Structure 1
C-alpha cells in the first residue's frame, strides 16, 4: 500500500527527469503499481482512511512521484454532482499523450497543489481548457478520451510530472495572480 512516505518531495531529481515509455506487455510489478496508485487516491479521498493512514487528499498521482521514472499516471476525480457517487474520471493511464488541446485556457480558482509539494504556492496555473488524450490501460488496451475543465487540468498536471514539469513552472513569477482576458476560472 502506498502512503505519504512513498511520495518523493520537490528537490528530488526524479521529479525533474523525463520518464521512460513503458513497454508492453506490462510486467506484474507495473500492473500492481497502477492498482496501488488508484487505491492510494481512493484512500486519500475517504476521510476516515485518510485520517487513519495520514494521507493528504489527491486526485492524481504519477509514477515519478513514487521515484519510479515510468510514464504511468493514475487519476481519480470525484463527481462534482452531489447526486452521483461514481467518480467523473477514474483510471490508470500508461504512456499518455495529449493529441490536441483547445485554444481556450482555464485554471483553478484556488490554484493547484501537489502531493510532492509541502507548501502553499499562490498563483494561477493556466492550462488548456480541453484536451484529447490517448493512453493504454493496465490490460494494454488503447483509449482516446476528450476531457474538459477540471478533469483536463488534472490529467495535464499528471502528464507534466512525466516530463519533469512541476505545476508552479506554469505560474507567472512576476505576477502570479494576473490572468489575461478569456481564461476560464474553475471554482
Structure 2
C-alpha cells in the first residue's frame, strides 16, 4: 500500500512539474498573443540568468504550450536570419525548440516539444555557429554529424527521427539552450579537448 502511495506521489510531482507557473503564463500571454515574444540577450544580466537555467518539460496539450510555440516561431521569424530558437531565449525555461529543417523539401520551420537526443554519432562536423541571444559572437564548433532524436507535437504524439547534417547541428545547438549551455561558454570547454580529423568517403555508382 505504501509503495502504491509513493508511486502516486511521484507521478503527481512529475506531472505537476509540467504545469506552467503564474509568472510563466503571464509572460507567455503578455500583450498581443499574435505577436512575437522578445528575444532575450546575454547583455542583460537578468535575461542572461534565464538563459543559464535548465528547462523543464512542457505539457504538449496545454493551451499555454500552443501559445508559446506560436509566439516562439514569430520571434524566430522576426530575426530574419535565424535558423533556430529555444524557449529560454524568449524567457521561458521549458523544453521547446524551433528549427529550420534543411533536410526537408522547401526547408520548413518545425517545432519540437520535449526533445531528447537518444544517440549521437562519433563522427563530428566542424562548422561556424552564432546565437540570437549573443551579440557579435561567432566561432567554430564540433557537433555530431548524425543524431537520433525523440520529441512530441502539440497533439501529444511522440516522434523519433534520424537527422543529419546542418539540421542535426541546429537541433544540438538549440537543445544545449535547454540545459543552459551557451556557445560562448561551450567554446572554452571545447578548447580543452583534442579532436582527430577523419576523412569521409561515399560510394560512386
Q: TM-score range by the shorter chain?
A: 0.7 to 0.9
- Whichever structure has more helix as a proportion of its residues is 2
| Residue 34 (structure 1) aligned to one of 63, 69, 76 | 69
RMSD (Å) for aligned C-alpha atoms? 2.6
Q: Which runs of 5+ in 2 are unaligned?
A: 1-34, 201-205
Aligned: 1:153 with 2:173? no
1:27-72 Cα offsets, whole Å, 9 max, x none, are x12102112222443x34xxxxxxxxxx351010100001101111
Taking the aligned partners of 1:40 and 1:23, their CA distance within structure 2 comes to: 21
| Residue of structure 1 in register with 2:52 after alignment | 16
Taking the aligned partners of 2:55 and 2:129, their CA distance within structure 1 comes to: 22
Residue 2 of structure 1 aligns to a residue in which SS?
Answer: coil
Asked whether the 8 Å contact 2:102–2:167 carries over to 1, the reply is no
Q: Which runs of 5+ in 1 are unaligned?
A: 45-54
| Residue of structure 2 in register with 1:7 after alignment | 39
Asked whether the 8 Å contact 2:152–2:158 carries over to 1, the reply is yes
| Residue of structure 2 in register with 1:106 after alignment | 125
Aligned CA distance change for structure 1 residues 183 and 15 (closer, same or farther; 3 Å): farther
- TM-score using structure 1 length: 0.75
Aligned CA distance change for structure 1 residues 91 and 174 (closer, same or farther; 3 Å): closer
User: What is the count of residue pairs matched by the alignment?
Assistant: 161
Question: Which one has more relative contact order, counting CA pairs under 8 Å at least 6 apart?
Answer: 1
Aligned CA distance change for structure 1 residues 31 and 125 (closer, same or farther; 3 Å): same
| Residue of structure 2 in register with 1:117 after alignment | 134
Q: How do residues 117-136 of structure 1 correspond to structure 2 at under 5 angstroms?
A: 117-121=134-138, 123-136=139-152
| Residue of structure 2 in register with 1:140 after alignment | 156
1:124-161 Cα offsets, whole Å, 9 max, x none, are 21111110000001121100011111000000000000
Taking the aligned partners of 2:94 and 2:140, their CA distance within structure 1 comes to: 28
